[in-house]
Amino acid sequence: MRLNRYLSECGLGSRRKVEEFILQGRIEINGKTVAELAHNVEIEKDTVTFDGEKVKRQSKAYYLLNKPKGYVTTTSDEKNRRTVLELIKTNVKVFPVGRLDYNTTGVLLLTNDGDFTNYLLHPNNKVRRVYRAVIDKPLEIKDKEKMLKGLYLEGKKGRFEEIIVTRKSTIVNVTAIEGRNHFVKKMFQTLGYNVDELARINYGGITLGDLPLGGWRELTLAEINGIKKKYDKL
């Protein structure tokens, strides 16, 4: 098994994250530092350590959190801010799938399944994310059309796949297939709108239902398989 996949299945993070650990020289196999991303692990024979501590594969776990404001979507924080992992009461080591901004609320998935995470995050898979934005003034039709056609953000074009303006014209549901930092807010700000509140209400078809703010639950088998069957076909 490829080393990055094995480390991800041990709950150390997404494949991209564990590749950073490998390149930093923090991984040893049988007492020797390994810094090659293409290295393979013989699971039954090799002893793998991270920062000197032995790692092993965990059973797969999948959680949905209704993220509240005031939490960072990381496993640790240099500023000692609260992390979303403090809200999940489990002995299984999991990591967030992507990020939500500090004051953005809503659907956040956490897992130790690297393949599951990679499918959801990879831009080529065009996984839909739906956000509810509260903006400071009604959205004009011409601006809606611009955001559907595409805007350049820091030299790279981005667009919303769908925009639904609710009866209250300052509440807008937008669908995106990319997860760039502050993407939704920047799209609105480019056209002169401030986003006062932002919540993710759907990620890859998974929704909150009646899950309260700060609450969490395991994903159902149907939800897990609904995602897995998509990447099993790739």
Q: Where are the domains of the chain?
A: 3-54, 62-112+211-232, 128-203
Quote the CA–CA distance of 97 and 78 in Å, as a whole number.
Answer: 20
What architecture is domain 3-54? Roll (3.10)
Residues whose CB is less than 8 angstroms from the CB of residue 213 and which lie 6 or more positions away in sequence, other chains included: 66, 68, 105
What pLDDT score does 229 carry?
A: 86
Q: Using alpha carbons, select from 178, 187, 184 the residue that is nearest to residue 147.
A: 187
Annotated catalytic residue: which of 46, 51, 77, 101? Answer: 101
Radius of gyration of the chain (CA): 19
Rounded alpha-carbon distances, angstroms, from residue 33 to 12, 30, 36, 60, 167: 17, 9, 9, 27, 59
Contact 152, 145 (CB under 8 A): no
What architecture is domain 128-203? 2-Layer Sandwich (3.30)
Q: Using alpha carbons, select from 88, 92, 82 the residue that is nearest to residue 66.
A: 88
What pLDDT score does 41 carry?
A: 94
What pLDDT score does 92 carry?
A: 86
Tokens standing for residue 106? 């809503």
Quote the CA–CA distance of 27 and 52 in Å, as a whole number.
Answer: 8
What pLDDT score does 97 carry?
A: 94
More confident residue, 118 or 138: 138
The average confidence (pLDDT) of the chain is 93
Report the share of the chain in percent with pLDDT over 70.
99
Clarify whether 113 is annotated catalytic: no
Chain centroid offset of residue 114 CA:
12
pTM (2 d.p.): 0.81
36-86 pLDDT per residue, tens: 888 999 988 999 999 999 998 878 899 999 999 999 998 888 899 999 999
What pLDDT score does 134 carry?
A: 98
Does pLDDT of 232 surpass 80? no
What architecture is domain 62-112+211-232? 2-Layer Sandwich (3.30)
